[in-house]
Amino acid sequence: MVGNDIASLFHGENRWVVELASTVREQRTGETALDVDIVKADGSRVSLNLNVVSLDDCNNEFIGMLLILEDLSAEKRVRSTMSRYTPKAVVDQVLDGHRDVLEGRTQVMTWFFTDIRSFTSISEAIGPRATVSMLNEYFAYMVDIIDQHDGILDKYIGDAIMALFGVPFTGARDERNALNAANGMMRALQTLNERHVKAGQEPLMHGIGVNTGEAIAGNIGSPKRMDYTVIGDAVNLTARVESVTTYYGTPILVSDLTLRRLADVEHVREVDRIRVKGKTEAVTLYESYA
């Protein structure tokens, strides 16, 4: 590329590079474009970082420009592949050099479990193909809400969802994000059910249990299959909180362990104080009805 006119190299959809270079020449500075696409001659695209630097001689006279291109295609392929099996937040940390996040750490985090009510009866009534279609549609709606509130999809457990907030690093809004996501999923379910009713299908109901506590997060499994997940008594408690939503007739139950970490909470009411199996301390449960 040495000695070539930049306009002869970057044209069509790549014309923006010429415009960027013109700005550099006029201002005699440098410009950086991160994670941008360049269209190749065969029509394919390559992702890269682009740096454009003005070059001056010893008399401070402009003599040309230096373009530095860093190909990101391989990294993006790895990131995309890993994100199918590992939470995106964890993938970002690993690729940025923080591999220790996979090795296991104990930290405070917030979770919720969701579970479709009467799922067995529904699946028996509609058959396997319709069940798979229903679950895929349901999961698409719910996972979008989790993503919007900075949550991480940990896993699907049949018709259930386990989501994490505060992994791999805790944040000031983890509990708030989890609660907002739970309420957002109720609204998303209402939208989904409107589609079901119009199509002559039965509406769905689900329960959500939200809890906060300390657990171990890390890459767990055999050498043939590893999953980034969390384990601990607090995780089990979250599942039990969700399991009693049917008993109390409320779609969302939140433990006091979560609410006490929030400065102000509206639209909640105390439901009961329970002691779960294997625990000596009782847990107060609240209904969220935002």
Q: Directed axis angle between helix 128-148 and helix 174-198, to 10°?
A: 140
Both tokens of residue 266? 């509206």
Q: What is the pLDDT of residue 271?
A: 95
Please state, in angstroms and rounded to a whole number, the distance separating the CA atoms of residues 252 and 245.
7
pLDDT at 64: 83
Confidence (pLDDT) at 76: 66
DSSP code string of 142-178: HHHHHHHTT-EEEEEETTEEEEEES-SS--TTHHHHH
Q: What ranges make up the beta strands (E) of 57-139?
A: 62-71, 105-116
* Cα separation, 224 vs 178, whole angstroms: 32
Residue 123 has a pLDDT of 93
Structural domains in the chain plus CATH codes: 6-71 (3.30.450.20), 104-288 (3.30.70.1230)
Angle at which helix 73-83 crosses helix 88-95, to 10 degrees, equals 140
Cα separation, 59 vs 81, whole angstroms: 50
Reported pTM: 0.69
Query: How, if at all, do strands 268-274 and 252-255 pair?
Result: unpaired
Q: pLDDT at position 96, please?
A: 66
Q: Mean pLDDT per 10-residue run, the chain (290 residues)?
A: 72 89 84 86 86 84 84 66 59 64 84 95 93 95 94 92 88 93 97 93 95 91 81 92 95 96 88 83 90
In Å, how far from its chain's centre is CA 54? 40
Residue 43 to residue 62: CA distance in whole angstroms: 34
